[in-house]
Amino acid sequence: MTSLSRQLPRRRALLGIDLLLVVWVVGWIVVGLLIAHEVNGLARLSTTVEKAGQAAEASGTALHALSAVPFVGHTVGQASARVIQAGQSAVASGQASRSSVGDLATLLGIAVALIPSIPVLAVYVPLRIGRARERLVVGAALAEIGDNPEFQAFLARRALETLPYRRLRWLVHHPWQKLDARQRADLAAAELQRLGLTRRASRSGLGG
């Protein structure tokens, strides 16, 4: 993971990536909330079914009052019982479907908000933390022994390992050959720039 974090771009570019990642995550969270809201709107249909069932149940109850009428009372009583049963069934179905729609809206919202972001965060965040720790450690060393020639040579070697080849050739025409003091200084400065540090860190801690 540490070797991968070294392949991250310089600090200014990293800040741009951080901003894009924040926009990405927030954007998907907003989309997830919108989808959850729209799906949850289907619960209105369940409410309509429930109200229709309640109306049917009330009508069946009213019809049941006619069951005592001679000749037709028995038939009306049977019909009213069926209407009441149908109304109760519609009410139960409306309540169950409303609960299911609510659960579905929540699950869809969470899935849409998190699934596109989790893989990106799982890869990028550890790399970003590794870079931050690397910057702290190098910054502390720079504050303590920043002018030490051996430390500068160490930074130059790190630059040879981490900087893109095109940038290396721009700094040092033949990076595979033995480096002189000026070349080591240029490479050390480039390595500090990659980490967002400056020579000021040798006097005041972290810079950049």
Q: Is the pLDDT of residue 5 over 50?
A: no
SS (H, E, C) 55-80: HHHHHHHHHHHHHHCCCCHHHHHHHH
Whole-angstrom distance, CA of residue 142 vs CA of residue 159: 15
Contact indicator for 208, 10 with CB cutoff of 8 Å: no
Structure tokens at 48: 């309509």
Query: Of 144, 153, 160, 125, which Cα lies nearest the Cα of 136?
Result: 144
Locus of tokens 């049941």: 64
Tens of pLDDT, residue by residue over 17-67, are 888 989 999 999 999 999 888 887 776 676 676 677 667 666 666 656 655
Structure tokens at 11: 């600090």
Contact indicator for 208, 195 with CB cutoff of 8 Å: yes
Helix residue ranges per DSSP H, 43-197: 43-64, 73-114, 118-145, 149-162, 165-171, 181-195
Tens of pLDDT, residue by residue over 168-180, are 778 887 777 777 8
Whole-angstrom distance, CA of residue 3 vs CA of residue 99: 50
Query: Of 127, 149, 139, 50, which Cα lies nearest the Cα of 90?
Result: 50
Angle at 144 between CA 18 and CA 157, to 5 degrees: 65
Tell me the average pLDDT across 144-161: 83
Higher pLDDT, 70 or 39: 39
Contact indicator for 159, 187 with CB cutoff of 8 Å: yes
